[in-house]
Amino acid sequence: MPSPFPSLPPEQRGEVVVLDHSSSVLRDNPFNDPVRRDLFVYTPPGYQSSEVDYPAVMVLPGYTGTGEKLLARGFTDMSIGTRIDRLIAQGCPPFVAVMPDCMTSLGGSQYVDSPGLGNYASYLVDEILPTVDGVFRTTGKWGVTGHSSGGFGAIHLAMTHPGAFSAVASHAGDLGFDLAYLGDVPKAVGAVARAGGLEQFVDGFWARRSHSGEDIAALMLLCVCCAYLPDVDATPLPCRLPVDFETGAVDFEVLAALSHMDPIVRLDDPGQREGLEMLDLLFIDAGRFDEYNLQIAARRFVAKLKTMGVPHVYEEFDGGHRGMAWRYGVSLAMIAEALRP
């Protein structure tokens, strides 16, 4: 934050447009979450008066986040729109930015296709990209950046939809699942026990007035299980679970099975690795003091990328997992340069 008043004068600001989009691929999702969602699109200064085509960048928020939240101005942080305004004013190539809503009843989607949550990867690639390209003047070249779960989502989309994106950035993205999710298991057991059981925890979550850190940890563990280990015949959630919430007994086989979606593991698959090899830019970063050990996971990922000869850029910075929205300024500038017509 340069000051408590980060916004530029109106003539130097872009415009945020809200599209009302109804999804086909999200129909019949297991939680009956809405298929009609707001899609927030930022157009750069001068867009309305020019005939120029612009590259586009999708911004994926972390777990519990939405595109709408990215546009909020906080006391010590600026909105993503203001951040882009300032980048462009400093000479960054202008671009269109897209902030989707991939919220679910479990607090997020991990941006994957899963019968346990819904088809959120297809929603973004097969519906949102062509919708934006059809409504706005774009070059057809796309980048994607995200933080935490959004950072995982950015890498996941590149691996599973080769060619859809030309530039990818992951800020402290979920990697190294063997460490990243392990710490949430005892927190989840405690939160579920206080609610009176798993079904009561899930059914009553949105009725409670406040939620503890353990509540959020529990919901996230359930979310990633539905995303990565779906089982449509299981109850009360359509997924396999790594712990018995009544006894606290950990099922390490299920916990290990989560890693089949870990990008570190998936690099061994030439078909998925190809999606990263095709990129004009692959940017990864993490704070040195990340509370979820994601800096350790990022180092493992980068070491494997280096061994396999996958071009990338890696940075570590002084900071933790939270309060790193300023890093979007780094990735967006790099992506805009990589997508420059």
pLDDT reported for residue 159: 98
What type of residue sits at position 213?
G
pLDDT reported for residue 208: 92
Q: Is the pLDDT of residue 126 over 90?
A: yes
Q: Is the pLDDT of residue 341 over 90?
A: no
Please state, rounded to an integer, the average pLDDT across all residues of the chain: 97
Q: Domain locations in the chain?
A: 10-176+262-338, 180-258
CATH code of the domain made up of 10-176+262-338? 3.40.50.1820
Question: How many of the other CB atoms lie within 10 Å of CB of 212?
Answer: 13
Q: pTM (2 decimals)?
A: 0.97
Q: Pairing mode, if any, of strands 54-60 and 138-147?
A: parallel
Which of 283, 296, 336, 321 is closest to 65 using CA atoms? 321
How does residue 2 score in pLDDT terms, banded at 50, 70 and 90? confident
b/e per residue 214-245 (b: at least 16 CB within 10 A): bbbbbbbbbbbbbbbbbeeeeeebbbbbbbeb
Structure tokens given for 87 = 């980048």
CA angle 161, 164, 166 (to 5 degrees): 120
Q: In this predicted model, what pLDDT tens digit does every residue of 151-191 receive, in sequence order?
A: 999 999 999 999 999 999 999 999 999 988 988 999 999 99
Q: In this predicted model, what pLDDT tens digit does every residue of 51-102 receive, in sequence order?
A: 999 999 999 999 999 999 999 999 999 999 999 999 999 999 999 999 999 9
Q: In this predicted model, what pLDDT tens digit does every residue of 255-300 receive, in sequence order?
A: 999 999 999 999 999 999 999 999 999 999 999 999 999 999 999 9
CA–CA separation, 54 and 339 (whole Å): 9
Mean pLDDT of 202-216: 95
According to the 3-state scheme, what is the secondary structure of 173-238? Answer: CCCCHHHHCCCHHHHHHHHHHHHCCHHHHHHHHHHCCCCCHHHHHHHHHHHHHHHHCECCCCCCCC
